[in-house]
Amino acid sequence: MKNKTVIITGGSSGIGKATAELFAKEGANVVVSDINESDGAKVVKAIVEKGGKASFFKTDVGKPEQMEALVNFAVKTYGQLDVAVNNAGIGGEINPIADMSVEGWQHIININLNSLFFGMKYQIQAMLKNGSGSIVNISSILGSVGFAGSAGYTAAKHGVVGLTQTAALEYSAQKIRVNAVGPGFIETPLLDALDAEMKKQLVALHPIGRLGKSEEVAELIYWLASENASFVTGSYYPVDGGYLAR
């Protein structure tokens, strides 16, 4: 990964932060993107202080023009784009379908699904100029099963898997690999709003007996992005402590 240029959306915390740190450790030029400018800048500062190469670019992933600007920034700053990790996402409104607001549905679909289309549209254009590239899209275990109360999130994450497979079919012959990762419930800021009892219930859904760590997901993302996964494309890899095996 030395001197490869990597975009990571949602890079200011959780899985995105752990992924940015790992890629930087392995010698990549890391573009940390997030709507949270202060936390994103802290991630970049920490990477640089350890001798890594990183830059921050504030992005609202739900706006196509900002996703295009992110790709342009990466190419202008480091010369080309080699890897993109489309990680940014939100939990969104939790309600049964009949009670879910239209606005809540549209917002989560925009941030968790439309954003990946916006991202890949411009990321692939840049990678085609290189003659190669690797994209890792962050889906979820809820990209393959349902979860009551989370219709928007579940629909979006299912969509991520289908979008990933389609992109892989369209661009694998041009040496652009596209894969998806499906984390189980991971100890990230997305779970901060849950009380202890709810977290205990979530732990019980994972046969391994605990929630996952961001660093564990980052390792899978890194492998998929690397040349060690050169024959892997169009795939969906859960990292879920056995959740989907139940």
Instruction: Render pLDDT for 100-149 as a digit per residue (tens, 0 to 9).
Output: 999 999 999 999 999 999 999 999 999 999 999 999 999 999 999 999 99
Supply the range of the domain harboring residue 84.
5-245
Between β-strands 5-9 and 83-86, what pairing exists: parallel, antiparallel or unpaired? parallel
Measured between alpha carbons, how far is 139 from 37 in angstroms, rounded to an integer? 24
Give the residue ranges of the chain where pLDDT is below 70. Answer: none
Instruction: Supply the CATH number for residue 105's domain.
Output: 3.40.50.720
- The per-residue pLDDT for 101 is 98
- The per-residue pLDDT for 246 is 87
Distances (CA, A) of 117 to 78, 131, 238: 23, 20, 21
Tell me the per-residue pLDDT of 51-62, one tens digit each, with 9 for 90 and over: 999 999 999 999
Burial of 200 (0-12, 13-18, 19+ CB in 10 A): exposed
- The per-residue pLDDT for 192 is 75
Distances (CA, A) of 4 to 161, 213, 230: 25, 25, 15
Q: Quote the pTM value.
A: 0.96
- The per-residue pLDDT for 198 is 86
Give the number of domains in the chain.
1
Measured between alpha carbons, how far is 18 from 31 in angstroms, rounded to an integer? 13
- The per-residue pLDDT for 212 is 95
Q: What amino acid positions are annotated as catalytic residues?
A: 153
Tell me the per-residue pLDDT of 105-117, one tens digit each, with 9 for 90 and over: 999 999 999 999 9
